[in-house]
Amino acid sequence: MIEQIRKYLGNEAEELLTHKTTTIPSSSITAPSPTYIDDVFTYTNRNNQVLRSLQSLYGTGRLANTGYVSILPVDQGIEHSAGASFAKNPAYFDAENIVKLAIEGGCNGVASTLGVLALTSRKYAHKIPYIVKVNHNEMLTYPNQYDQVMFASVKQAWELGAAGIGATIYFGSPESTRQLQEVSEAFHLAHELGMFTILWCYLRNPEFVKNGVDYHTSADLTGQANHIGVTIEADIIKQKLPTNNGGYNALNMGESSYGKTDKRIYSELTTDHPIDLTRYQVANCYMGKIGLISSGGASGENDFAEAVKTAVINKRAGGMGLISGRKAFQRPMNEGVELLNAIQDVYLCNDVTLA
């Protein structure tokens, strides 16, 4: 298994597989394990129904009872338009094929829209944990707007048999305060009804691009988004891999004043290595007590290599898994299954260790 992983990583294999972090030590974080729910969530305010729902997620699929998760997310029919998302593989206009891919691919759960999961719930909700994405950014309003609004209620998710709900907050956007309030209320109700919660902690503001550098995926800004996410009781945080650092510093150049930071974030708590940058994201999730899953990203020419690389970085940083959609469903189902399995093999491989 490790040789196949090395093959996918190519020239980056040695750097990624042997890196030893000198920033936040692995001994200080809570790493995923078969006893993760017992070790963390039994001490929280989550009720027994939430614990059972979480166990259904961590106990399903090829990664069952490892502490790691592989989730198939398909909400792009709303977020990116159905045509743009499914034209490469029109079979996925049929909602049932989304669920079939998650099951055949050995995923822990499937996250999608109310419509997709409601249409298939009586056939599959007892076979794989359902995660209803309750808010979306739609791309039909002219001109396009960028605002996550509620498409579904928590009660609707509960009624169709969902084990959890998911939501997005666009941190940094003018609408983020309203979104934060809406999602916090939704998460509270979901927990009351026994469902777990996943937060897509994304940044969105054109001002986060400075001098041609995009800081939407800087470690310091995404880390703070994660920290706000766990504050409203997200049980899992979804975040993009960090690609740089110094977002706060860039936004405070000239006469501007933005946020608060500390030079030790950049000199002691991170380096420019992707595993160390991701470790900082994990640290902001209560030192790993709330699991960090990394986004799989858009589909491209090197999907298998990119997905495996992302999984290796996430795992070695102390993350809990990958949530990958377009790379899997924008190809024939057998290839999508193969890609999901390649991701899962990283988490099943004992040779890929915590950095």
Please give the DSSP secondary-structure letter assigned to residue 60: S
DSSP 135-193: EE--S-SSS-----EE-S-HHHHHHTT-SEEEEEEEETSTTHHHHHHHHHHHHHHHHHT
Q: Cα-atom radius of gyration of the chain, to the nearest Å? A: 19
Other C-beta atoms closer than 10 Å to the C-beta of 225 total: 23
Whose tokens are 């002219």? That residue is: 142
Whose tokens are 């799989």? That residue is: 296
Helices (H) then strands (E): counts for the chain: 17, 12
- End-to-end C-alpha distance for the chain, whole angstroms: 19
Residue in 238, 240, 315, 327 annotated catalytic: 238
Asked whether 242 and 297 are in contact (CB, 8 A), the reply is no
Give catalytic status of residue 238 as yes or no. yes
Asked whether 197 and 233 are in contact (CB, 8 A), the reply is yes
CA nearest 285: which of 334, 216, 227? 227
Residue 302: HSE in the Cβ half-sphere, 13 Å Cα cutoff:
9
3-class secondary-structure state, position 322 = strand
Please identify every residue annotated as catalytic: 238
